[in-house]
Structure 1
């Protein structure tokens, strides 16, 4: 059953909650929300069966969550703050793809983040300018009302058939509606290049695991190495999967491996 919480700015965030045990908040990537993401719904149930209290939200402006443009990184962090309160004030964060950059921003700004679990985060080169340029281009398309162009640009660099399948599929109206929200994803990615990462993330003390599939795109590997180099308590780990996807049971098994033995 869908539940709701309000951010400090009064934005209503929808979420599912399942299981008992270690609180874990899931942060979706650019195209993820509950109505179109059966893999993460499956992951929620798999994690709940392995000792987690899982909070699976729709990010601001997506699915059943409220929110109006412009969508900013600060609004994503405010939503995570509210979800941490739902979870009792302390939780692990799992960030998928660009949601991993949002998770890093939340961990840098909020108390109560006990562990970070990041799946194939598409960071650019440290201190590079491409993130800021990408954000400017996304904002231009959002301001022009070009929702299809916004999503097409965001997915540039991925196999083109991914976008074409989304565009031709029955859920396209749902994706089109949430297109302006990827501005927050682009802002999060640009933020990771805004200063040397060791300094930018100096307030992050949570143990961090950067997860990669068995056949990741090379830029995900470079990004993982950069995150591990910048954080004092970070490691890489592998999950069976390829093409930026995993099977829910495989990922749940890997995440459950970080629980204390008594909780498993």
Structure 2
């Protein structure tokens, strides 16, 4: 049975979370557009709760958590740090996509994590000198109240196949993402702030995963992250675009964090 609670971040923002299972604490960080009521981890949690105390939380601006402007990546790292301290002082993390970027920022900033597993962190093109134009475009759309347009632009810009976007449009999932559309800008800012200096500052055991069915930009980002993070491991798993079956993910998390990191 899950237990719900909340914690105050450094800037006073209330962050809501729940936990289930038993064992060492493992915090799951949702990707862009997701939160506990629209979670990317519903099938993963029961597989992990056999071995971990699994914590899920609503990132700021989503679900039952609050939000305090202006947004900065450091504030989200502080949210995670407040949660870690609330649940025992140190924790493992699994981060997916832009959730993986948040985990990297947090570890580089000194949040006390014991080890991380990251699925396809979405790195920027290293040749780009300025922020991704997508960040500004999404900011303009959401400020104008055009949240659905922002959701569609975000997905098409990151390479989601057109048929997947068509399948999502009009569904409850689609409407849920529209409800948190302004936070898509937050995820883009996490990406804009991700540079080689962040990756090289990560000093905890790290496993980077990718899907064999993903596009070259995603698998390339995973390989780059693994190359730049000291001591990181990299593994490709059978899967589709940006998706690997939960049982395969769970097995890798358990093997790496329970065996490799030696709880």
TM-score normalised by structure 2 residue count: 0.89
Residues 36-115 of structure 1 aligned to structure 2 (within 5 Å): 36-37=38-39, 39-49=40-50, 51-67=51-67, 70-115=70-115
Report the Cα offset of residue 86 of structure 1.
2.3
Pick aligned residue for 2:200 from 202, 208, 212: 202
Report the Cα offset of residue 185 of structure 1.
0.5
Q: Give the aligned partner of residue 251 of structure 2.
A: 253
Report the Cα offset of residue 96 of structure 1.
0.5
Structure 1 unaligned residues grouped into runs of 5+: none
Contact 2:104 2:198 in 1 (8 A): no
Report the Cα offset of residue 189 of structure 1.
0.7
Paired with 1:76 and 1:103, the residues of 2 have a C-alpha distance of 10
Residues 172-187 of structure 1 aligned to structure 2 (within 5 Å): 172-187=174-189
Q: Give the aligned partner of residue 231 of structure 2.
A: 233
Report the Cα offset of residue 163 of structure 1.
2.7
Paired with 1:261 and 1:77, the residues of 2 have a C-alpha distance of 25
Residues 261 and 164 (structure 1), Cα distance of their counterparts in 2 relative to 1, 3 Å cut: closer
Paired with 1:246 and 1:180, the residues of 2 have a C-alpha distance of 27
Residues 74 and 144 (structure 1), Cα distance of their counterparts in 2 relative to 1, 3 Å cut: farther
Q: Give the aligned partner of residue 188 of structure 1.
A: 190
Greater mean alpha carbon deviation, residues 249-258 or residues 63-72: 63-72
Residues 164 and 73 (structure 1), Cα distance of their counterparts in 2 relative to 1, 3 Å cut: farther
Q: Give the aligned partner of residue 163 of structure 2.
A: 161
Structure 2 unaligned residues grouped into runs of 5+: none
Q: Alignment partner of 2:94: what SS? A: strand
CA RMSD of aligned residues (A): 2.2
Residues 135 and 42 (structure 1), Cα distance of their counterparts in 2 relative to 1, 3 Å cut: same
| Matched length | 258
Contact 1:239 1:254 in 2 (8 A): no
TM-score normalised by structure 1 residue count: 0.89
Report the Cα offset of residue 71 of structure 1.
4.0
